Amino acid sequence: MAETEPLQKPTYIPLQELQKHNKRGDAWIAIDGKIYDVSKWANHHPGGETPLLNLAGQDVTDAFLAFHPPSAYKRLDAFFTGNYLRDYTVSEVSRDYRSLFSELTKLGLFEDKGHGVLILLSLIVVMFCVSVYGVLFSDSMVVHVLCGGLMGFLWIQSGWLGHDSGHYQIMVNRKWNRFMQILSGNVLAGISIGWWRWNHNAHHLACNSLDFDPDLQHLPFFVVSSKFFTSLTSCFYGRKMNFDSFARFLVSYQHWSYYPVMCFARLNLFAQSFFLLLSNRKVPNRKMELLGLLAFWIWYPLLVSFLPNWREKVLFVLASFAVTGIQHVQFTLNHFSASVYVGPPTAHDWFEKQAHGTLDVSSSSWMDWFHGGLQFQIEHHLFPRLPRRNLRKIAPLVKDLCKKHNLPYTCVSFWKANVLTVQTLRNAALQARDLTKPVPRNLVWEAVNTHG
């Protein structure tokens, strides 16, 4: 009888050793105490390399649990290094978070998507047809402007579909889910779903980090903290965010320009979509994405061209942009007035970071269609794969967990959220005017501020 080979003794390494493997080409992560080398996987990761590189060298158990379905665990074996994390411990907050996650999974809430997608898609089709019909068959300028506003409302609802399909599978299979992403994002709204996922994944992982979260990096138009005045470097865009005299001028009045700029924030999303798709970055399904954008830039200008004169064309475009500006306001309300920090995201305090960096907006259930799930922002950040129809169900559980661990659970009215956001912008604006070491002021600044 042949002798059996002795089992290889597991190797345990300290956290300090794991932390050394935190860069491109040498990226290790720990999940449930086991260490994986994801250096080569970074180029193939469906969520892009940014999430892996941002959290490399850390125990990412909670973040992995939040963003991946159970089937993803099966793929981890291919990256296992044979090493384990020495003295692996789990905090009380993380233990309770994982316990709640397990409970929601057993209840089937991650799979219980309902028929909301079909209903919303049908509503989008109706709105599109009504808007097109009003443009083509009505001679009333008022009707044409209302049709423009309806188009903006369509963009909002298609945005919610794109957001949902980017976080979890809303269709029967991955192929149809991808089709829905391209349709709701690229074709209907003119925004690359690839760009959105790249941006949004970074936002979720580095929630409210001034230098890692792209959703807070809006210089020269907006800043939410005086820390931007030191010209921080964006680790997402890979460039310095210069706080020069021009930026100071705009920031000094940002609490007044906030809503007008939000009406045209879509222009930035259009530009960012093309910047990514025409760049050298690896973008999955690049050709399909570009074809989707091409479709949008054919049907939307063509529809506008049927309006009788330039005045009505401009009003139609302004109405569509202004209405969809509501959604851009919604995107910022949940984070602009929350706690911020400087530095890379840390995975050991996953729950804590999400609680501190987000706030909920209270609303009646019949207004859920308006908020698209973003009113339960804390719940969404903790459980991003949870279908939005179930966020209201788990809100009391999340609130209790925050209370148990003395973590903030901020929930305010839509009006109050707007007030807090404007107050945050105003505070930063006033600080921008009173710096002790001002940057060189340009002629516009001098003209506006001379003699007080």
CA 273 to chain centre: 15
Torsion angles phi and psi, residue 195, rounded to 5: -65, -45
Tokens representing 18 are 């794991």
Distance CA 81, CA 28 (A): 9
Instruction: List, for residues 114-165, the tens digit of each pLDDT value.
Output: 667 888 899 999 999 999 999 999 999 999 999 999 999 999 999 999 999 8
User: Environment class of residue 151 by beta-carbon count within 10 Å: exposed (0-12), middle (13-18) or buried (19+)?
Assistant: buried
Q: Is the pLDDT of residue 442 over 80?
A: no
Determine the 3-state secondary structure of 61 from DSSP: helix
Whether the ω angle into residue 345 lies within 30 degrees of 0, i.e. cis, is no
Share of the chain above pLDDT 90, in %: 71
Range in 164-173, 182-191, 430-439 the model is least confident about: 430-439
Structure-model confidence comparison of residues 114 and 182, the more confident one:
182
Determine the 3-state secondary structure of 211 from DSSP: coil
Give me the residue label for tokens 């475009």.
317
Tell me if 416 sits within 8 A of 360, measured CB to CB: no
The per-residue pLDDT for 29 is 93
Tokens representing 348 are 């050991």
CA 247 to chain centre: 24
pLDDT tier for residue 170 given thresholds of 50, 70 and 90: confident
The per-residue pLDDT for 3 is 52
Q: Is the pLDDT of residue 216 over 50?
A: yes
Contacts of the segment 124-130: beta carbons below 8 A, 24+ positions apart = 124/154, 124/157, 124/158, 124/161, 124/188, 127/151, 127/153, 127/154, 127/157, 128/154, 128/188
Tell me if 228 sits within 8 A of 241, measured CB to CB: yes
Instruction: List, for residues 119-128, the tens digit of each pLDDT value.
Output: 889 999 999 9
* β-pairing verdict for 80-85 and 11-13: parallel
Instruction: List, for residues 255-269, the tens digit of each pLDDT value.
Output: 999 999 999 999 999
Looking at residues 396-425, what average pLDDT do you find? 96
Biggest CA–CA distance in the chain, Å, is 98
The per-residue pLDDT for 305 is 97
Tokens representing 52 are 């892996």
Looking at residues 49-53, what average pLDDT do you find? 86
- The size of the chain, in residues, is 452
Structure-model confidence comparison of residues 380 and 437, the more confident one:
380
Enter the pTM of the model: 0.90
The per-residue pLDDT for 114 is 65
Whether the ω angle into residue 440 lies within 30 degrees of 0, i.e. cis, is no
- Picking from 84, 149, 154, the residue whose alpha carbon sits closest to that of residue 121 is 154
pLDDT tier for residue 53 given thresholds of 50, 70 and 90: confident
Cα pseudo-dihedral 300, 303, 305, 308, rounded to 10: -140
Q: Is the pLDDT of residue 366 over 60?
A: yes
pLDDT tier for residue 435 given thresholds of 50, 70 and 90: low
User: Environment class of residue 183 by beta-carbon count within 10 Å: exposed (0-12), middle (13-18) or buried (19+)?
Assistant: buried
The per-residue pLDDT for 278 is 93
Q: Is the pLDDT of residue 428 over 50?
A: yes
Q: How many CA atoms, within 13 angstroms, populate the side-chain half-sphere of residue 64?
A: 24
Q: Is the pLDDT of residue 7 over 90?
A: no
